[in-house]
Every structure is written in C-alpha cells, then in structure tokens.
Amino acid sequence: MRVLFISDLHLEEERPDITRALLRFLDQQATGCDALYILGDFFEVWIGDDAQAPFQRDIAAKLKALSASGCKLYLMHGNRDFMLGKRFCQQAGATLLKDPTVIPLNGQPVLLTHGDLLCSDDVGYQKLRRILRNPITLWILRHLPLAKRQQLARKLRNQSKNSTQMKAAEIMDVNNRTVSEYLERYACNTLIHGHTHRPAQHQHNVDGHTAERWVLGDWDKALWFIEANEQGLTLQQQPL
C-alpha cells in the first residue's frame, strides 16, 4: 500500500517551475501508487470549469493519464479553487471529496481537510467562507459573465494579500481547540491538512489520548508531500 498527499501547489502559468515540479512528481513519485489525494489550492485561482485555458486542460490530461494507469485520484477544494467542478474532475479522472472527509488508512480512520476550517480565530475569513461556499452563492458566481468572474477573482486575491499582511501569524494558523473538536467529532487519531503553509507533524491531546496532525507544505520554495505505507506516514521535501 502506497498513498500520497499533496496540497497548496497554487498552479498558474506564471510559475512554470511549480508546473515542472508537478509533472516530475507525477512521473516519479505518483506512478505506481495506489492513490493520490490533492487537498486543495491545487490552482492559484479557479473561476469556473468553463474558463479553462490550454494550461488547465494540459494539467487535467496529465492527471487523467495517472488515473488511467490505476492510481485513484481525489481532489478537495481549497480557498483558492473552491469553484472546481464536475467537468474538471471528469477531465482529470478524479473524484471530488467533501471537506472534511474521513478515509481508511492502514485499518484506521484518517481525517482529511484543506485546513482553513481549522483556522477558527480568523473570524472574518470564516464568515466570508460561509458566504462564498453557500450553494446559492456558488450558483450565482458560476453564472456570472466570464469577465466579471475574472474581475471578482482579482479583487478577492488582492484583498486576501492585503489582509494576510495585516493579520497576526497566530490568527492564520489553526486553533488547537478546533483541531481537537474535529478529531473527536470524526473519531480519528490522525489528521492531514494543508492551507497554513507550515509543514510539520504535531501531537494533540484529544479526550485523554494522543492524536497526530500532519501539515503539508506549499510548493513555493520546495515540493512537499506525505507518503503513507504499511510503516506509517512520512512528510517529505524535495527541491522544485
């Protein structure tokens, strides 16, 4: 058994180094694995499946080839690409997961999430998240003219960048109590997430026992992934 987890690639044409790293990862690490989980923010921005350029279609084709080789492929929304839809998943041969999701791994339940839900101290962001993820809001966004969606995406990205610079680092990290609540709610001793761009392994006390939280890194300066096999989990880093 060999399962891989990645997150926060933030793919865009302006960063060909990250795209090259992904293609190398798919050819070298992911080939022959049982499953690959992409836990959100795969793309830097996604304004709708109907807005794909050759860049996005080429990425989908690479994923489709991996899926066709026998590797099960799973996608989860991030805060940057929460409008990824069924059309892209079909193109990529991927299954879209809810956030959060529990999967079996080595006979134990493991909780997967993008990670932004765990940052509960950022009250303003959580409120905006609930608004944007509302099915009515999503329907309206998907039916806006393409130019309007592009304009809105630029505005949200600029607001996010400015907001990030102003917020304290602790607010943008996970809340430990929220982490424990999710682990207890879903009866899991292991949690894997991204979003915070702070790759590490943490331990939490949950209802009197120790649970593990594994954090994936973003692909800005290095390539990060988690590998799961019969021996357990390992967090790995490679140069882009």
Pair type for strands 108-113 and 190-193: parallel
Average pLDDT value over all residues in the chain: 94
**With DSSP H G I counted as helix, E B as strand and the rest as coil, what are the percentages for the chain, rounded to 5?**
40, 25, 35
- Is this prediction's pTM over 0.75? yes
> For the purposes of burial, counting CB atoms within 10 Å of the CB of 170, is it exposed (0-12), middle (13-18) or buried (19 or more)?
exposed
Note the pLDDT tens digit of each residue in 173-200. 999 999 999 999 999 999 999 999 999 9
Strand order across the 232-239 sheet: 94-97, 72-76, 35-39, 3-6, 222-229, 232-239
Rounded CA gap, 193 and 200, in Å? Answer: 10
Quote the pLDDT of residue 156: 80
7 is in an annotated binding site: no
The CATH number of 3-239 is which of 3.40.50.720, 3.40.50.300, 3.10.129.10, 3.60.21.10?
3.60.21.10
197 is in an annotated binding site: yes
41 is in an annotated binding site: yes
Residue 5 gets the label, from left (phi > 0), alpha (psi -120 to 50) or beta, of beta
Domain ranges, ordered by start, for the chain? 3-239
Residues forming beta bridges with residue 237, ordered by sequence position: 224
Question: What percentage of residues in the chain have a pLDDT greater than 70?
Answer: 95
Rounded CA gap, 46 and 50, in Å? Answer: 10
Position 167 confidence tier, pLDDT thresholds 50, 70, 90: low
162 is in an annotated binding site: no
| Res 164 pLDDT > 70 | no
Q: With contact defined as beta carbons under 8 Å apart, do 108 and 89 qualify?
A: no
8 is in an annotated binding site: yes
173 is in an annotated binding site: no
Quote the pLDDT of residue 172: 73
202 is in an annotated binding site: no
| Res 232 pLDDT > 70 | yes
Note the pLDDT tens digit of each residue in 77-98. 999 999 999 999 999 999 999 9
Position 170 confidence tier, pLDDT thresholds 50, 70, 90: low
77 is in an annotated binding site: no
161 is in an annotated binding site: no
Position 25 confidence tier, pLDDT thresholds 50, 70, 90: very high
Rounded CA gap, 5 and 20, in Å? Answer: 18
